[in-house]
């Protein structure tokens, strides 16, 4: 399985990091070794001085697909989830300045938090799902899928032009504004609407 992460899919986050609005969805990959699940703690790696959280809505692919039309994309997933794309921001900024790939900053071990999954039929409108992240009991990030530049079905269609989607693949759909640095002993909880999806500690 592979983890496909969408970058720059919320205008407020693009402004937050002083990036440019892309003409098409940006995506990059994380390996399966990046997955952190079952509310296990995240250990801050020693190669970065600034690991930042980015909470994101996830979808899990349940059928093999290639060149999927947008109108059929909803048939390729049954579950919605929530996760965190941990980013070594200091490393990423250095790589961006040099025009180099982001893997050192994005694809390291345990950099992809994956919480519980919810059947998509629970939602009346996939394009209007609210979610938020709490740090030590305080909301630090919140978003709604209606504010995505490219909606979930559009992302599936676009990514499948380049990559064959396989059963179990996970798409991280992008993060809203509010990203920030993590610290030892932080407690993070992620919510879709009012349902707790994950809860873990930083060590």
H-helix or E-strand containing 11?
helix 11-16
| Percent of the chain at pLDDT exceeding 70 | 97
Q: In the structure, what pLDDT confidence band is assigned to residue 74 with cuts at 50, 70 and 90?
A: very high
pLDDT digits (tens, 9 = 90+) for 177-201: 899 999 999 999 999 999 999 999 9
Structural domains of the chain, with CATH: 3-201 (3.90.850.10)
With cut-offs at 50, 70 and 90, classify the pLDDT of residue 13: low
Q: Token match 């002083």: residue?
A: 18
Q: Which residues are CB-contacts of 37 (< 8 A; sequence separation ≥ 6)? A: 113, 114, 115
Other Cβ atoms within 10 Å of 182 Cβ, number: 17
Query: 75-134 pLDDT, tens per residue?
Result: 999 999 999 999 999 999 999 899 999 999 999 999 999 999 999 999 999 999 999 999
Q: Has residue 20 got a pLDDT over 80?
A: no
- Whether the predicted pLDDT of 165 surpasses 70: yes
């Amino acid at each position: 399985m592979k983890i496909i992460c969408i970058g720059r899919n919320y205008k407020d986050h693009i402004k937050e990091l002083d990036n440019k609005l892309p003409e098409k969805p940006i995506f990059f990959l994380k390996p399966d070794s990046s997955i952190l699940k079952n509310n296990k703690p995240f250990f801050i790696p020693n190669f970065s001085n600034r690991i930042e959280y980015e909470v994101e809505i996830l979808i899990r692919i349940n059928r093999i697909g290639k060149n999927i039309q947008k109108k059929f994309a909803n048939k390729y997933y049954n579950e919605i989830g929530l996760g965190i794309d941990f980013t070594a921001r200091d490393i990423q900024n250095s790589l961006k300045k040099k025009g180099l790939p982001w893997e050192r900053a994005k694809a390291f071990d345990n950099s992809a938090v994956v919480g519980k999954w919810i059947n998509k039929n629970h939602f009346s409108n996939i394009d209007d799902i609210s979610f938020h992240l709490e740090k030590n009991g305080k909301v630090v990030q919140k978003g709604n899928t209606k504010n995505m530049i490219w909606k979930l079905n559009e992302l599936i269609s676009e990514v499948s032009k380049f990559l064959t989607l396989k059963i179990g693949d996970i798409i991280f759909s992008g993060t809203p504004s509010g990203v920030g640095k993590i610290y030892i002993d932080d407690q993070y909880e992620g919510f879709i609407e009012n349902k707790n999806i994950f809860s873990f500690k930083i060590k």
